[in-house]
């Protein structure tokens, strides 16, 4: 197919061609990906009240099966790890059965998926989970938390005992086994964006005085223990880890990024997971360059996009590939463009996000009704 004729709508595309490498096949663990574009995990709050994914989610993910890899949205490995209403789970037989329909639909459409496993830690609320949130230390989120009755002040989480630590590690391993049972190719351990594992990494949220708090070697211990347990459960080839050095999501704050992340990456490398996934990767930052030097395996980089346009996506992705990223993860571009790969291939403009509110709530609207180039061309 030729370059897209309507490129005037997006001035950046007149100067940017897709980097050949981006749309060419790549290996990831035991998989061959048809291209290097990864759909980043995105919570869409469409599971049922018990965390079971339904047919709407199967349709949504199958529409995006042309991605090199889909990393499905954060799913909780146990009841207390639940963050918000309608977040999917992966700890019971009904969750496995629900997800099996999703992975089946994606496989039938030619795609492949990992599942992100996320424990919220202090990002949770008794009104959501029915349980009191657990965290490394009793330090509440300073912001309110969304519940079925609207935003409520966060509660002070209970400090995890060593028993809680060991049980949570075991829950991640069991969730990973469930994910494989449900047809996922593997799982992504969520150690980013201010959730439980990230809370262990930062001295602002981790004031523990045991082996899991204090110096860097202790604060990285929980993420390393979870990753090791998950790798032991399903094989390192099926495991990825997501990190967000210095990212301030969910009131996260880190003051030793340039020391902590190299130590973490070294320790994770000993486990040989299939990939490391960096949120808001910036090739100009020392920490990104250090991670690339220290990480011998596949590195997925999620760029910080100035704007969600074809031009910015191609430009930022090419910069990251030039800086050593193996795969590029994109969130909102995949959310609003089921045929993102085709749009990037032909240089077509991207659909904008229609309604930000519908990113995190709702039904089919704003979820499975974004047009492809083909459906947009059909007469109304
Ligand atoms: C609606 C929405 C939900 C998200 N949910 C998750 C999630 O479940 N897990 C996660 O690690 N990141 C999540 N993110 C962050 C994205 O994975 C990604 O890092 C971020 O959107 C930046 O990439 P982008 O500019 O390509 O969208 C979410 C982002 C959006 C927009």
Nearest CA to 276 out of 344, 224, 204 is that of: 224
Ligand 1 centroid from CA 335, angstroms:
10
Ligand 1 centroid from CA 331, angstroms:
5
**What was the pLDDT predicted at 19?**
67
**What was the pLDDT predicted at 356?**
85
How do residues 268-312 score in pLDDT, each as one tens digit? 999 999 999 999 999 999 999 999 999 999 999 999 999 999 999
**What was the pLDDT predicted at 1?**
39
Residue 88 has pLDDT above 70, yes or no: yes
Distance CA 182, CA 117 (A): 14
Nearest CA to 137 out of 212, 77, 237, 246 is that of: 212
Banded model confidence at residue 9, pLDDT cuts 50, 70, 90: very low
State which ligand 1 atom lies nearest to the alpha carbon of 305: 25
Distance CA 34, CA 16 (A): 22
The residues lining ligand 1, judged by C-beta closer than 6 Å to any ligand atom, are 40-43, 73-74, 116, 190, 192-193, 242, 279, 302, 305, 330-333, 359-360
Kindly give the residue spans of alpha helices, DSSP state H, lying in the chain: 55-63, 93-108, 126-129, 162-181, 196-201, 216-219, 221-234, 257-269, 286-294, 310-322, 332-336, 340-346, 373-377
From the CB of residue 356, how many other CB atoms can be counted at a distance below 10 Å? 9
pTM: 0.96
Least confident of 10-19, 242-251, 345-354: 10-19
Burial of 204 (0-12, 13-18, 19+ CB in 10 A): middle
Nearest CA to 42 out of 333, 240, 312 is that of: 333
Residue 15 has pLDDT above 80, yes or no: no
Ligand 1 centroid from CA 323, angstroms:
22
Phi, psi torsion values for 346, nearest 5 degrees: -100, 0
**What was the pLDDT predicted at 372?**
97
From the CB of residue 116, how many other CB atoms can be counted at a distance below 10 Å? 24
* Average of per-residue pLDDT across 43-64: 98
User: Could you give the dihedral angle defined by the CA atoms of residues 341, 344, 348 and 350, in that order, rounded to the nearest 10 degrees?
Assistant: 70
Residue 370 known to be catalytic: no
How do residues 100-155 score in pLDDT, each as one tens digit? 999 999 999 999 999 999 999 999 999 999 999 999 999 999 999 999 999 999 99
Banded model confidence at residue 7, pLDDT cuts 50, 70, 90: very low
**What was the pLDDT predicted at 362?**
85
What is the H or E stretch that residue 113 is in? strand 113-117
How do residues 172-204 score in pLDDT, each as one tens digit? 999 999 999 999 999 999 999 999 999 999 999
Catalytically annotated residue among 4, 61, 91, 195: 195
**What was the pLDDT predicted at 11?**
39
Residue that has been written with the tokens 């339904």 in this structure: 54
| Residue from 37, 39, 42 whose mutation best tests the ligand 1 pocket (most atoms within 8 A of CB) | 42
**What was the pLDDT predicted at 17?**
61
* Average of per-residue pLDDT across 322-344: 97
Residue 52 has pLDDT above 70, yes or no: yes
Banded model confidence at residue 379, pLDDT cuts 50, 70, 90: confident
How do residues 101-112 score in pLDDT, each as one tens digit? 999 999 999 999
* Average of per-residue pLDDT across 241-258: 97
DSSP state of 4: P
């Amino acid at each position: 197919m030729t370059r897209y004729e309507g490129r005037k709508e997006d001035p950046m595309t007149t100067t940017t061609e897709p980097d050949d490498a981006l749309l060419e096949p790549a290996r990831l663990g035991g998989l061959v990906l048809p291209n290097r574009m990864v759909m980043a995990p995105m919570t869409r709050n469409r599971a049922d009240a018990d965390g079971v994914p339904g047919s709407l989610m199967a349709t949504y993910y199958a529409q995006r099966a042309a991605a090199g890899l889909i990393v499905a949205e954060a799913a909780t490995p146990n009841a207390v790890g639940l963050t918000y209403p309608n977040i999917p789970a992966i700890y019971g037989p009904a969750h496995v059965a629900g997800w099996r329909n999703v992975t089946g639909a994606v496989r039938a459409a030619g795609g492949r998926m990992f599942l992100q496993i996320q424990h919220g830690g202090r990002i949770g609320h008794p009104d959501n989970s029915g349980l009191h949130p657990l965290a490394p230390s009793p330090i509440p989120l300073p912001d309110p938390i969304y519940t079925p009755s609207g935003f409520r002040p966060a509660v002070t989480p209970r400090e995890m005992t060593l028993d809680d630590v060991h049980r949570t590690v075991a829950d991640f391993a069991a969730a990973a086994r469930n994910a494989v049972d449900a047809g996922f190719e593997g799982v992504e351990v969520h150690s980013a964006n201010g959730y439980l594992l990230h809370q262990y990494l930062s001295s602002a949220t981790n004031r523990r005085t045991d082996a899991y708090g204090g110096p860097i070697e202790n604060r990285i211990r929980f993420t390393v223990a979870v990753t090791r347990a998950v790798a032991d459960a399903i094989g390192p080839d099926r495991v990825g880890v997501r990190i967000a050095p210095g990212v301030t999501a969910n009131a996260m704050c880190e003051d030793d990024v340039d020391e902590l992340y190299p130590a973490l990456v070294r320790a994770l490398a000993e486990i040989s997971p299939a990939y490391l996934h960096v949120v808001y990767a910036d090739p100009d930052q020392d920490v990104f360059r250090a991670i690339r030097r220290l990480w011998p395996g596949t590195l997925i980089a999620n760029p910080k996009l100035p704007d969600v346009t074809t031009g910015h996506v191609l430009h930022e992705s090419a910069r990251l590939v030039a800086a050593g990223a193996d795969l590029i993860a994109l969130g909102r571009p995949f959310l609003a463009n089921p045929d993102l790969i085709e749009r990037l291939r032909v240089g077509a403009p991207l659909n904008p996000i229609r309604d930000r509110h519908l990113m995190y709530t709702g039904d089919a609207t704003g979820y499975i009704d974004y047009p492809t180039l083909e459906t947009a061309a059909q007469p109304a």
